[in-house]
Copies of this chain bind each other. A is one copy, B any other.
Amino acid sequence: MSSEFGEKIKISIFGESHGEAIGCVIDGLPSGVKLDIDEIYADMSRRAPGNDKFATPRLEKDIPHILSGVLDNTTTGAPLAMVIENTNTRSGDYSNLMTLPRPSHSDYPAYVKYNGFNDVRGGGHFSGRLTAPLVFAGAVAKQILKTKGVFIGAHIAQVGNVCDTLFDKNNIEKSLLDKLTASKFSVIDDSVEDKMRAEIEDARMAQDSVGGIIECAVIGVPTGVGGNMFSTVESRLSSILFGVPAVKGVEFGDGFAFASMRGSQANDPYCVKDGKVAVKTNRNGGILGGITTGAPIVFRTAIKPTASISQPQQSVNLQTMEEETLVIKGRHDPCIVPRAVPVIEAAAAVGLLDIMM
């Protein structure tokens, strides 16, 4: 049971929300890759809380500090270690006592698994804050993938009942992905942004939260990447995608919509395009038999609504073993979907780089 991922590129993520620091070690990177640190910051800024709609990203509190593996902004080939200090560290009067576990959080199962020794402050190692090192690792992976002509971008496909236009799966331009990754509220059809923001604001006003779907595309992956049986591209990507907190579903290509389709509707015929074999449609999302077809890889992830809501909820007092009403205090993000977009991109980048190395 570990916080590590990868076979060739190994990512090890550490940290607790209110501990000294969070960070990661990336082992297995090629040497000689020039890193664009600003681009890394930009991705981290997309994930950072409270930055939306501000012109200047304020990352002072979450500056990634590279400890090793990089010299003159270039990878040395040694493990790349990165640390982000926590500024909300140990207060003397803090009690690490878990009494009322929050519904639909990891609180209770983690309490059982770790016999009550886990750091519960702010979610500890289960905090969404731990996705910051993943976004860092993903930003590094993206830059290496770029050198291979591979580009990644995701968008908010759905928030509550508001839907964005979906990718045209067999026809995705780099310029669209660039637009999506340049935004802090990534949508294909700009006109849905206001409706999605309204949906989120509605949830907030109702002391509630709302879920959504993120759709991600990867272009430029050559034909023949991946493997069958337990090393399909779907296996590898889903394995890291389900490591992103709140992800409860992953589907590739037409995914669950295949259930009610006929083979004649679902199959992707072949054609010749620019002198090469290509699929005429891409309902399989760029993967057949676990191996890439050369068409864009397209997948969707379901994000459940933020578990922390202000409404009173029923829980059980773990000390007295009696049912009690829990009211979670403080401000909570009523919808993490917009901020989860760069996290999904990062997971895809790390997973794909591991497959392609």
How does the 8 Å CB contact mask read for A270-291 relative to B, with 1 for contact and 0 for none? 1110010101100111011111
Q: Are B291 and A68 in contact, CB atoms less than 8 angstroms apart? A: no
Supply 4 further A-B pairs (C-beta < 8 A) apart from A109-B291, A232-B243: A4-B4, A103-B268, A103-B270, A208-B262
- Once the chains are docked, how many angstroms separate the CA of A265 from the CA of B160? 12
- Once the chains are docked, how many angstroms separate the CA of A117 from the CA of B240? 30
Task: Report how many copies the assembly holds.
Answer: 4
Q: In the complex, how many angstroms separate the beta carbon of A111 from the nearest chain B beta carbon?
A: 8
The stretch among A9-17, A40-48, A50-58 that forms the contact with chain B is A9-17
The stretch among A72-80, A142-150, A165-173, A180-188 that forms the contact with chain B is A72-80
**A28 contacts the other chain (CB 8 A):** yes
- Which of B3, B19, B305 contacts A229, CB < 8 Å? B3
Report B-chain residues with C-beta under 8 Å of the C-beta of A76: 16, 114, 117-119, 124-125
Report B-chain residues with C-beta under 8 Å of the C-beta of A23: 67, 81
Contact-size category for A:
35 or more
Q: In the complex, how many angstroms separate the beta carbon of A62 from the nearest chain B beta carbon?
A: 15
Q: Are A270 and B314 in contact, CB atoms less than 8 angstroms apart? A: yes
**A245 contacts the other chain (CB 8 A):** yes
Q: Are A264 and B211 in contact, CB atoms less than 8 angstroms apart? A: no
The A interface, classified by DSSP as helix, strand, loop or mixed, is mixed
Q: Are B1 and A28 in contact, CB atoms less than 8 angstroms apart? A: yes
Report B-chain residues with C-beta under 8 Å of the C-beta of A275: 321
**A27 contacts the other chain (CB 8 A):** yes
Q: Are B243 and A235 in contact, CB atoms less than 8 angstroms apart? A: yes
Given contacts A210-B262, A307-B263, A307-B267, contact A289 B106 (CB under 8 A): yes
Q: Are B277 and A115 in contact, CB atoms less than 8 angstroms apart? A: no
Q: Are B251 and A248 in contact, CB atoms less than 8 angstroms apart? A: yes
A32 — nearest CB in chain B belongs to which residue? B117
Name which of A104, A263, A275 has the most chain B CB atoms within 10 A of its CB: A263
Q: Are A2 and B12 in contact, CB atoms less than 8 angstroms apart? A: no
- Which of B14, B27, B159, B272 contacts A4, CB < 8 Å? B27
**A83 contacts the other chain (CB 8 A):** yes
Q: Are A315 and B112 in contact, CB atoms less than 8 angstroms apart? A: no
- Which of B114, B229, B287 contacts A77, CB < 8 Å? B114
Report B-chain residues with C-beta under 8 Å of the C-beta of A227: 1-3, 113
Q: Are A79 and B314 in contact, CB atoms less than 8 angstroms apart? A: no
A-B contact pairs, 14 of them (CB 8 A): A4-B230, A12-B25, A13-B229, A16-B76, A22-B68, A32-B115, A78-B119, A105-B288, A106-B290, A109-B291, A242-B290, A251-B251, A263-B308, A264-B309
Smallest CB-CB A-B distances: 8 pairs: A106-B289, A1-B227, A249-B251, A78-B125, A209-B263, A112-B224, A109-B291, A249-B255
- Once the chains are docked, how many angstroms separate the CA of A4 from the CA of B65? 21
A28 — nearest CB in chain B belongs to which residue? B2
Q: In the complex, how many angstroms separate the beta carbon of A257 from the nearest chain B beta carbon?
A: 8
**A212 contacts the other chain (CB 8 A):** yes
Q: Are B259 and A68 in contact, CB atoms less than 8 angstroms apart? A: no
Report B-chain residues with C-beta under 8 Å of the C-beta of A91: none
Q: In the complex, how many angstroms separate the beta carbon of A20 from the nearest chain B beta carbon?
A: 4
Q: In the complex, how many angstroms separate the beta carbon of A115 from the nearest chain B beta carbon?
A: 5
